[in-house]
Amino acid sequence: MDLQVLRSFQAVAEGTTVTDAAAEAGITQPALSRALNRLDEEVGAALFQRVGRGLRLTPAGQVFKEYADSILDSYDRGLRAVAEVVDPDAGVVSLAFLHTLGTWLVPRLVTGFRESSPQVRFELHQAGEIGLAQHLLDSTADLIITSKDPGHPLITWRRILVEPLWLAVPTRHRMAQRRRVRLAEVAEEPFIVLKPGYGLRNVTETLCHQAGFSPLVGFEGEEVETLRGLVAAGLGVSLIPASSRATAPETGPDLPVRYLQMTDVHAARDIGIAWLASRSLPPAPRRFMEHALKATAGPREPGAPR
């Protein structure tokens, strides 16, 4: 079985036309069609069925694709591992991370790592909590940095730090001049939150329940910057990660948002790094993982209120 034929099978299975897949492989379209037919004979079942002008996987093809993906992934990872043995200072780190961590933690870790490994290249992806785990499961990332344990049996997660959360209120809010409050004091106010499925949404609901109430949702967004903007507009309050508070623009005495420390709940979220338990990390990603664990040992809390 030819690996290039497997790659072409994978490409067609994922929506590439046979003509384009043939061009990518550097062969003619009839030659690729014959190769796919021989693959059917080797497997012992038709892998594609024609639907309109395109091809769609048969049930047998869907099963076979899972194994083809695994074969190609293992082969590519093997090439990477050998290349890094030959040149241990090189390599690629494929890293996916939570949006809010792209403003402080990820740049800090990458910069520190490149001081000792300047030739290592990074492939970076941003996603929400659910998307991050999928990056690992789809083999599009070696490592993910996320705000909670994905809780998946195939994923190993290690906490690297605990990030504080602040209560963000508008500058004209009745408690804006205070530094510390109880979360229960805003139980009757609308909360600006992330949509369900985001880790910060789960943390917000959990902390509110610990304070004795269910949050009244005023708006559901997809970015922490949106939460902060709507708080500044006076539409509600929100729990904001310390890192986002630390990178917020602050000019003059009339700040758009005030950040208050909460005293009745332990307002924080876990930040961790994760990888597939069943897969051996190549040298460069393993070194980066070890660097991340070491570099975040005993970190200072970002964004302490003034």
At 69, is the secondary structure helix, strand, or coil? helix
Residue 303 within a domain? no
Sequence-ordered list of residues with C-beta below 8 angstroms from that of 148, at least 6 positions apart, any chain: 129, 199, 202, 203, 269, 270, 272
Residues 78 and 156 in one domain: no
| pTM passes above 0.95 | no
Residue 300 within a domain? no
Residues 171 and 112 in one domain: no
CA distance 175 to 153: 44
Residues 232 and 141 in one domain: no
Residues 77 and 97 in one domain: no
Provide the residue range defining the domain that includes 256.
Answer: 164-269
CB 180 within 8 A of CB 296: no
CA distance 170 to 176: 7
- List per-residue pLDDT tens for the chain, 306 residues long: 688 999 999 999 998 999 999 999 899 999 999 999 999 999 999 999 988 878 899 999 999 998 998 888 888 878 877 877 777 677 889 999 988 788 889 999 999 999 999 989 999 998 877 788 889 888 889 999 998 888 899 999 999 999 899 999 999 999 999 999 999 999 999 999 998 878 889 899 999 999 999 999 999 988 888 899 999 999 999 999 877 655 444 433 445 899 999 999 999 989 999 999 988 888 889 999 999 999 987 544 444 333
DSSP-derived secondary structure for 256-296: SEEEEEESSS--EEEEEEEEETTSPPPHHHHHHHHHHHHHT
CA distance 121 to 285: 10
Residue 78 within a domain? yes
Residues 114 and 130 in one domain: yes
CATH code of the domain covering residue 48: 1.10.10.10
Retrieve residue 268's tokens: 């924080």
Residues 156 and 110 in one domain: yes
